[in-house]
């Protein structure tokens, strides 16, 4: 603690109301970013209280502090290396045993801890009695009862944090691991203390315990230390797997001694939550209920948001037109209107579905249902190399891939998450539908519906095959274990859900927005220059590019116009139609019916290659917004480029087969 500024880290299990406490502590003063090098959300915030400036960091929710999970490594490295003045450990009062397991590990880290005994109202309502005074005595940690959803106990928590921060660093430990292990811990501590810099940096008991548990990250911390060989000597004498199990046993044993003395538990045979669960995960009704809820969420997200999207769309179109017509010189007006405002508008049009989707996801998550959805769908998703939690993002992909990919953050395992992101674009989004409607309507008459449906199915098949392919090549490895808490059902609070929605939504605006805007300006440049040509016409750079690309798409039965239209489709796939409109000289505002007539009248487009074009539109590189979000969420240019290249190759191959095989069989 320096002057009057205090640094506080928030730690705790998932589903204990950590976010609600964080919100109650910091109010609106929050910043959401990522932890360095990984796409794990890092939330920070601050609060002025009684003359103190308190800085809060919300650590990822974890059950333990092992080296096996990125969340856990982040949490413990922050505590060990950044040494916050106080760690506020949020404990679920209705589930002391499992929550205190984390406490035992936080204590070993040498952190000064304050326990926020959250949801204490729920515990009391069901008849539990928790003696916080006794708990403080046993643990030697101050305990504050809180009900974060109602703001109860927050001021006491802040007072306690300030009081504890003044006490300075803390070095206590609670768990005895039994004579044999304690002896090894002692030996290890003595060795580690031979390295002064090391023992200054890390609590030596903690490091000893971790080394004996076979923790690889801990071993990395002593690389290059003069005591490394001695440490390895000791490690070679023990069975680390046995130690790992015994240490977990001992921690729970210690908790089993404490809990009965501080709390009287009132275990109901059948809680309300259990009863709700009997319905939602019912043998026969569970799946229909799941699909009904998903359908409702989908409808709300994508149907409800359409009028808002239309309003935004027309507003920006009007503004873009006004700027392009009235600002001089002409090229500047066009850049402002068609390029920048058009691009910004394109980013902003996505706001309604994204905000609604995140609101619904927050509600589903906070109510406890999202965990059940994963529970219900896991079997099916595992078969195709994905995870139970992949289902919701995949379904949302039929609406728009951008929020769908952002929704993959609920998937813990890196490979599961990456696979879900990379196959998501094959779920045919709403923007691709107008393209299918146009071509299927023009060339397939009464079969149009069947054709469109088959395209959707083809997308699902492509997603499944790609997932399987990725899982057996680039993202090989055993399937991540599925060991998931099913938290009790709770009524979500409006405040938590809206904050969540706002944070995710604004993240999209800031990060994906810049990439999308750059892409839109790039396309505008290609379509506008050389100066003086008609926007996007044969003489523009885009048109010339189309001519250059023509030989590449000729084997698919596409001419240069289609090449240009597909190029523009990168901005947004529905633009494929608008671009064709421009190329047929109908102007950008051409009615769909007009384009349909022109397309039908064009001898270069017929049933066979229009089918290829629909398939190509389905599979080829994701639109700019999706590409931007893939870059953002994978944190990697490599995977972004992979998504683009893989999509193009797959689309080309599929369209090639359709055209060549179809022609060979005599279709046209």
Q: Using CB under 8 A, which of the segments 38-46, 279-287, 333-341, 658-666 binds another protein?
A: 279-287
Instruction: Considering the complex, state which of residue 481 and residue 603 has its C-beta at the smaller distance from another protein.
Output: 481
Q: Using CB under 8 A, which of the segments 90-98, 191-199, 304-312, 397-405 binds another protein?
A: 90-98
What's the min distance (Å) between Cβ of 429 and another protein? 28
Q: Is 379 a residue that touches another protein (CB under 8 A)?
A: yes
Q: Which one among 269, 283, 446, 476 touches another protein, defined by CB under 8 A? A: 283
Q: Is 268 a residue that touches another protein (CB under 8 A)?
A: no
Contacts of 77 (CB under 8 A, 6+ apart): none
Taking residues 463 to 502 in sequence order and writing x for each that binds another protein by CB under 8 A, - otherwise, the string is: ------------------xxxxxxxx--------------
Instruction: Considering the complex, state which of residue 171 and residue 265 has its C-beta at the smaller distance from another protein.
Output: 265
CB-CB contact of 207 with 168 (8 Å): no
CB-CB contact of 57 with 8 (8 Å): yes
Coil, strand or helix at 492: coil
Given CA atoms 511, 517, 519, 522 in this order, what sign does their dihedral have?
negative
The CA distance from 491 to 567, in Å, is: 47
What's the min distance (Å) between Cβ of 596 and another protein? 44
Structure tokens at 173: 């430990």
Instruction: Considering the complex, state which of residue 485 and residue 591 has its C-beta at the smaller distance from another protein.
Output: 485
The CA distance from 348 to 509, in Å, is: 8
For residue 651, give the nearest of 542, 570, 541, 544 by alpha carbon: 570
Q: Is 265 a residue that touches another protein (CB under 8 A)?
A: yes
What's the min distance (Å) between Cβ of 252 and another protein? 5
Instruction: Considering the complex, state which of residue 387 and residue 631 has its C-beta at the smaller distance from another protein.
Output: 387
CB neighbour burial string for 200-226, b if at least 16 within 10 angstroms, e if fewer: eebbbbbbbbbbbbbbeebbebbeebe
What's the min distance (Å) between Cβ of 253 and another protein? 8
Instruction: Considering the complex, state which of residue 256 and residue 310 has its C-beta at the smaller distance from another protein.
Output: 256
Specify the DSSP element, H or E, that contains 34: strand 30-34
What's the min distance (Å) between Cβ of 89 and another protein? 16
CB-CB contact of 498 with 359 (8 Å): yes
Q: Using CB under 8 A, which of the segments 298-306, 370-378, 630-638, 656-664 binds another protein?
A: 370-378
Q: Which one among 179, 229, 267, 668 touches another protein, defined by CB under 8 A? A: 267
User: In the Cβ-directed half-sphere of 471, how many Cα atoms lie within 13 Å?
Assistant: 22
What's the min distance (Å) between Cβ of 245 and another protein? 6
Q: Is 420 a residue that touches another protein (CB under 8 A)?
A: no
Q: Which residue has the tokens 């009997």?
A: 278
Q: Using CB under 8 A, which of the segments 314-322, 324-332, 372-380, 521-529 binds another protein?
A: 372-380
User: In the Cβ-directed half-sphere of 424, how many Cα atoms lie within 13 Å?
Assistant: 33
CB-CB contact of 69 with 26 (8 Å): no
Cα-Cα-Cα-Cα dihedral of 190, 194, 200, 204, to 10°?
-20
DSSP string, 292-330: HHHHHHHHHHHTTTHHHHHHHHHHHHHHHHHHHHHSSSH
Taking residues 100 to 139 in sequence order and writing x for each that binds another protein by CB under 8 A, - otherwise, the string is: -x--------------------------------------
What's the min distance (Å) between Cβ of 577 and another protein? 41
What's the min distance (Å) between Cβ of 289 and another protein? 10
DSSP string, 225-274: -TTHHHHHHHHTTS-HHHHHHHHHHHHHHHHHHHHHHHEE----SS-HHH
Specify the DSSP element, H or E, that contains 45: strand 41-49
Instruction: Considering the complex, state which of residue 270 and residue 491 has its C-beta at the smaller distance from another protein.
Output: 270
Instruction: Considering the complex, state which of residue 47 and residue 251 has its C-beta at the smaller distance from another protein.
Output: 251
CB neighbour burial string for 139-155, b if at least 16 within 10 angstroms, e if fewer: bebbbbbbbbbeebbbe
What's the min distance (Å) between Cβ of 276 and another protein? 12
CB-CB contact of 32 with 43 (8 Å): yes
What's the min distance (Å) between Cβ of 242 and another protein? 10
Instruction: Considering the complex, state which of residue 243 and residue 346 has its C-beta at the smaller distance from another protein.
Output: 243
Instruction: Considering the complex, state which of residue 140 and residue 274 has its C-beta at the smaller distance from another protein.
Output: 274
For residue 289, give the nearest of 299, 298, 297, 280 by alpha carbon: 280
Taking residues 538 to 567 in sequence order and writing x for each that binds another protein by CB under 8 A, - otherwise, the string is: ------------------------------
Structure tokens at 153: 């106990």
Q: Is 245 a residue that touches another protein (CB under 8 A)?
A: yes
The CA distance from 404 to 398, in Å, is: 9
Q: Is 524 a residue that touches another protein (CB under 8 A)?
A: no
Q: Using CB under 8 A, which of the segments 83-91, 241-249, 464-472, 652-660 binds another protein?
A: 241-249
Q: Is 243 a residue that touches another protein (CB under 8 A)?
A: no
DSSP string, 399-434: T-HHHHHHGGGG--SHHHHHHHHHHGGGS--GGGHH
Q: How many residues sit close enough to another protein to count as binding (CB under 8 A)?
A: 41
User: In the Cβ-directed half-sphere of 167, how many Cα atoms lie within 13 Å?
Assistant: 15
Q: Which one among 68, 291, 295, 318 touches another protein, defined by CB under 8 A? A: 68
Q: For residue 581, give Cα distances in angstroms to 79, 570, 588.
A: 59, 16, 6
What's the min distance (Å) between Cβ of 303 and another protein? 28
Q: Using CB under 8 A, which of the segments 284-292, 451-459, 590-598, 632-640 binds another protein?
A: 284-292
Q: Which one among 180, 183, 193, 249 touches another protein, defined by CB under 8 A? A: 249
User: In the Cβ-directed half-sphere of 289, how many Cα atoms lie within 13 Å?
Assistant: 16
CB-CB contact of 427 with 464 (8 Å): no
Taking residues 6 to 45 in sequence order and writing x for each that binds another protein by CB under 8 A, - otherwise, the string is: ----------------------------------------
Instruction: Considering the complex, state which of residue 485 and residue 589 has its C-beta at the smaller distance from another protein.
Output: 485
Q: Which one among 292, 380, 645, 649 touches another protein, defined by CB under 8 A? A: 380
The CA distance from 114 to 160, in Å, is: 7
What's the min distance (Å) between Cβ of 201 and another protein? 25
Structure tokens at 494: 């409006």
What's the min distance (Å) between Cβ of 277 and another protein? 8
Instruction: Considering the complex, state which of residue 200 and residue 283 has its C-beta at the smaller distance from another protein.
Output: 283
Structure tokens at 214: 């076979």
Give me the residues that bind another protein (CB under 8 A), please: 63-64, 66, 68-69, 94-95, 97-98, 101, 241, 244-245, 248-249, 252, 265, 267, 277, 281-284, 286-287, 371, 375-376, 378-380, 382, 388, 481-488
């Amino acid at each position: 603690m320096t002057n009057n500024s205090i640094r506080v880290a928030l730690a705790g299990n998932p589903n204990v109301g950590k976010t609600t406490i964080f919100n109650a502590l910091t109010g609106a003063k929050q910043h959401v970013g990522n932890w360095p090098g990984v796409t794990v959300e890092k939330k920070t915030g601050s609060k002025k209280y009684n003359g103190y400036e308190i800085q809060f960091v919300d650590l990822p929710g974890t059950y333990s502090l092992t080296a096996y999970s990125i969340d856990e490594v982040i949490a413990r490295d922050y505590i060990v290396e950044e040494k916050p003045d106080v760690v506020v450990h949020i404990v679920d009062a209705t589930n002391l045993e499992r929550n205190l397991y984390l406490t035992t590990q936080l204590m070993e880290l040498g952190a000064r801890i304050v326990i926020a005994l959250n949801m204490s109202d729920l515990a009391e309502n069901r008849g539990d009695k928790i003696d916080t005074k006794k708990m403080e005595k046993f643990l030697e940690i101050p305990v504050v009862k809180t009900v974060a959803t109602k703001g109860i106990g927050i001021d006491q928590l802040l007072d306690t944090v300030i009081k504890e921060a003044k006490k300075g660093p803390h070095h206590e430990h609670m768990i005895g691991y039994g004579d044999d292990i304690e002896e090894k811990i002692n030996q290890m501590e003595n060795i580690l203390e031979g390295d002064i810099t090391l023992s200054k940096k890390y609590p030596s008991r903690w490091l000893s315990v971790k080394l004996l548990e076979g923790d690889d990250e801990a071993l990395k911390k002593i690389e290059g230390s003069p005591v490394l060989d001695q440490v390895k000597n000791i490690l070679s004498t023990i069975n680390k797997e046995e130690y790992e199990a015994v240490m977990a046993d001992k921690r729970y044993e210690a908790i089993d001694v404490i809990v009965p003395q501080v709390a009287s538990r009132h275990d109901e045979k059948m809680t309300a939550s259990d009863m709700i669960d009997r319905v939602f995960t019912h043998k026969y009704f569970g799946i229909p209920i799941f699909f009904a809820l998903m359908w409702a969420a989908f409808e709300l997200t994508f149907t409800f948001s359409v009028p808002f999207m239309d309003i935004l769309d027309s507003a920006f179109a009007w503004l873009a037109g006004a700027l392009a017509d009235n600002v001089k010189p002409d090229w500047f007006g066009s850049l402002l209107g068609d390029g920048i405002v058009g691009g910004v508008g394109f980013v902003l049009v996505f706001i309604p579905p994204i905000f609604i989707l995140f609101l619904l996801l927050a509600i589903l998550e906070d109510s406890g249902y999202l965990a059940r959805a994963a529970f219900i769908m896991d079997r099916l998703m595992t078969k195709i190399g994905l995870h139970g939690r992949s289902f919701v993002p995949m379904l949302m992909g039929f609406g728009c891939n951008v929020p769908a990919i952002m929704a993959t953050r609920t998937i813990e395992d890196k490979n599961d998450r990456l696979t879900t992101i990379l196959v998501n674009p094959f779920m045919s989004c709403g923007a691709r539908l107008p393209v299918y409607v146009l071509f299927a309507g023009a060339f397939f008459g009464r079969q149009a519906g069947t054709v469109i449906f088959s395209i959707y199915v083809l997308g699902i098949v492509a997603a499944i095959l790609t997932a399987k392919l990725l899982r057996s090549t680039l993202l090989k490895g055993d399937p991540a274990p599925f060991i998931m808490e099913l938290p009790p059902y709770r009524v979500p609070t409006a405040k938590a859900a809206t904050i969540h929605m706002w944070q995710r939504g604004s993240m999209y605006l800031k990060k994906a927005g810049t990439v999308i805007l750059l892409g839109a300006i790039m396309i505008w440049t290609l379509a506008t220059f050389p100066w003086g040509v008609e926007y996007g016409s044969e003489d523009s750079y885009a048109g010339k590019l189309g001519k250059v690309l023509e030989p590449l798409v000729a084997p698919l039965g596409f001419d240069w116009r289609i090449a240009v239209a597909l190029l523009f489709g990168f901005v947004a796939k529905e633009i494929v139609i608008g671009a064709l409109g421009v190329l047929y000289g109908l102007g950008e505002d051409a009615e769909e019916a007009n384009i349909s007539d022109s397309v039908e009248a064009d001898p270069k487009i017929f049933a066979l290659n229009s089918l290829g074009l629909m398939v190509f539109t389905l599979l080829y590189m994701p639109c700019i917004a999706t590409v931007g979000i893939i870059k953002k969420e994978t944190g990697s240019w490599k995977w972004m480029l992979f998504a683009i290249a893989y999509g193009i190759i797959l689309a080309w191959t599929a369209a090639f087969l359709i055209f060549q095989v179809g022609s060979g069989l005599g279709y046209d």
